[in-house]
Amino acid sequence: MATLLRSVVRPLCAFRGSPGPPAGVPLRAVSHGAGLLYPEHIPTSLLQKVLLAAGSAGMALYNPYRHDMVAVLGETTGHRALKVLRDQMKRDPEGAQILQERPRISLSTLDMGKLRSLPEGSFGCAYLHFLDVNKVSPDTRAPTRFVDDEELAYVIQRYREIHDMLHTLLGMPTNILGEIVVKWFEAVQTGLPMCILSALFGPIQLSAQNLQLLISELIPWAVENGHRAPCVLSVYYERRWEQPLQALRQELGITEPPLRVEGLV
Amino acid sequence: MAAPRSWALWSFCGRGWSRVVSGYRLPGLRSSSPRGPLGARLLSQEKEATETHFGFETVSEEEKGGKVYQVFESVAKKYDVMNDMMIVFVFDLSSCWLPAGDIAFRFLNYVQAQHQRKQKRQLRAQQNLSWEEIARKYQNEEDSLGGSRVMVCDINKEMLKIGKQKAHAQGYKAGLAWILGDAEELPFDDDKFDVYTIAFGIRNVTHIDQALQEAHRVLKPGGRFLCLEFSQVNNPLLSRLYDVYSFQVIPVLGEVIAGDWKSYQYLVESIRQFPSQEEFKEMIEDAGFQKVTYENLTSGIVAIHSGFKL
């Protein structure tokens, strides 16, 4: 818990020295073309990041359907954690390759035909099955905007895009309970303040029964797996479609969930 | 004696931030010219605003109504428009916090109230009316605006639709027309309207000079052009605070509340791009308007420009 708290406080200090024009200076010159580090980049000052972080946190709590606010919160508070993640990826050969090649996961980059032809039990097949059953698409991830470092912007984009893979690996559906479990796993893995806040505040809306199951079984399992697994961002998922799901789980040290979550919500 | 028919063409733009305006005291526009209503000179010196509202504060309906009432009271007095055909011309109701329709609705309320007052006077003047006759007179009243006509024009179909819905929700049907049109090329004949107003709209027009020329064209001789728009702040301290607020806070609020950073960035930038009070006054004069004056609100955050087609 102390580590978690520290990892919440530390990123707040990351506000100091973040690049961007000083408060009050019109951003006209910067926001159009010239100062952009990547296509969707919106340069923001320190003050703006603070306001955005506070505003997005409040709005996300007030209206849980504002997923874009959760994304904004992640971007504005994740600087320190993203640097740590990026360094972790660099140290791992597969992770370094990802940083080099910058693969993106979207319907246009995935070979859906090939995925469909994969044998039952393979990771690719399981992933496709997950997308179908939960009626989600890899294209729903909003592009990064408020990260003022082009490489870190990719890291957070990658984190968002592999979220569905984590669901598949952990065997969690996309309902509230499943999402919270995945968030706990991600919080331990990434240390992103947004994950930690979601993990802590998400359960507020749960029923007593679900809450009990969450606390007694699911969270300990997620945390344990999160600690045991290597950096999940360093896994080149696009090269492992044929790998059997169980083998991949074993490689990452992910055990079976203590109970099936579908029936509970 | 039949009152002369007059047409008012008003245009409103609701592009964001109407609430800023609602915080200001709109001083009454008094006629100081001995010649009478035409040629009223607007006081262009700065009025003291006891409230300095920046952005998204709520003011009560009565307060806002009262402020807008003063502007239109003066216009009405000058043109005797209460009893006659009026056209309201609305521009770009898009993404408004307190939609520009709100200004139009305040105006419609005013016209309606004037018409009702006139009706009451007429009834009082008639002797020995039976209760049935009085009741019938009120019941038969379908045109609550008393013959005044309001034309609402916007370049954006979706926003026009919303404006129409709002109007209907507030009970306005008679006398209102909703037209899809471009301020730079109005779908109206020459010399048609008594008043043309545009609020927070002209800033968004690509060719402001063309919009001004069109305004001049569709107004009748004697017609008045009124433009409410963000302008340049003349107080250095306020200007600095305003800059910080505009560029630091507004886009953030746009992102958090509307999920749209870019529109609000555009908003604050377009305000800075807009010509100053004097420059805009010259542009209005270039379009052919005369007796062009302006009134600053809260040190020039917003200005009302006025001109006459003579």
Q: Given this model, what pLDDT does residue B144 score?
A: 67
More confident residue, A20 or A74: A74
Q: Between the ranges A97-111, A149-163, B104-118, B163-177, where is the mean pLDDT highest?
A: A149-163
Q: Does B174 touch chain A (CB under 8 A)?
A: no
Cβ(A194)–Cβ(A60) below 8 Å: no
pLDDT at residue A141 tops 60: yes
Mean pLDDT for back-to-back runs of 10 residues, chain B (310 residues):
38 35 34 35 38 38 43 34 25 32 66 83 77 72 71 80 80 83 92 89 85 95 92 90 87 84 80 91 96 89 92
> In terms of CA atoms, which chain A residue is nearest residue B260?
A68
**pLDDT of amino acid B131:** 79
Catalogue the E-assigned strands of B18-169. 150-154
Range scoring the smallest mean pLDDT among A119-123, A152-156, B111-115: B111-115
For chain A, the helix, strand and coil percentages under 3-state DSSP, each to the nearest 5? 65, 0, 35
Q: Give percent above pLDDT 90 in chain A.
A: 59
pLDDT at B268: 81
Give the closest-approach CA distance of A205 to chain B in angstroms: 22
State the virtual CA torsion across B306, B284, B280, B293 in degrees, nearest 10: -30
Name, of A103-112, A168-177, B123-132, B262-271, the range with top average pLDDT.
Answer: A168-177
Q: Which residues of chain B are within 8 Å of residue A47 when distances are taken between CB atoms?
A: 248
What is the pLDDT at residue A232?
A: 94
Specify the pLDDT at position B96. 33
pLDDT tens for residues A14-70? 333 333 333 444 444 444 556 788 988 999 999 999 999 999 999 888 887 888 999
* Distance between CA atoms of residues B128 and A176, nearest Å: 73
pLDDT value for B27? 37
Which structure tokens are listed for A166?
Answer: 């984590």
Q: Is residue A1 very low, low, confident or very high in pLDDT (cuts 50, 70, 90)?
A: low
Question: Which residue of A26, A45, A72 is in closest CB contact with B255?
Answer: A72
| Residue-level pLDDT at A87 | 95
How many CB atoms within 10 Å of residue A45? 21
- What is the Cα–Cα distance from B112 to B79, expressed in whole angstroms? 16
Res A11 pLDDT > 50: no
Residue pair B85/B7 in contact by the 8 Å Cβ criterion: yes
> What is the nearest CA distance from A185 to chain B, expressed in angstroms?
27
Cβ contact, residue pair A28, B272, below 8 Å = yes
Q: Given an 8 Å threshold on Cβ–Cβ distance, is B247 in contact with A69?
A: no
Q: CA distances (Å), A218 to each of A180, A189, A227, B160, in order?
A: 9, 16, 14, 52
* Range with the poorest average pLDDT among A98-107, A123-132, A137-146, B39-48: B39-48
Of A86 and B1, the one with more pLDDT:
A86
Per-residue pLDDT, averaged over A76-105, amounts to 94
What pLDDT, on the 0 to 100 scale, is given for residue A142? Answer: 81
Phi and psi angles of residue B38, each rounded to the nearest 5 degrees, phi first: -70, 140
Of residues A146 and B269, more confidence is placed in: A146
Q: Does the beta-carbon distance from B243 to A24 stay under 8 Å?
A: yes
Task: State whether A24 and B248 contact (CB < 8 Å).
Answer: yes
The domain limits of chain A are 46-252
Output the pLDDT for position B309. Answer: 94
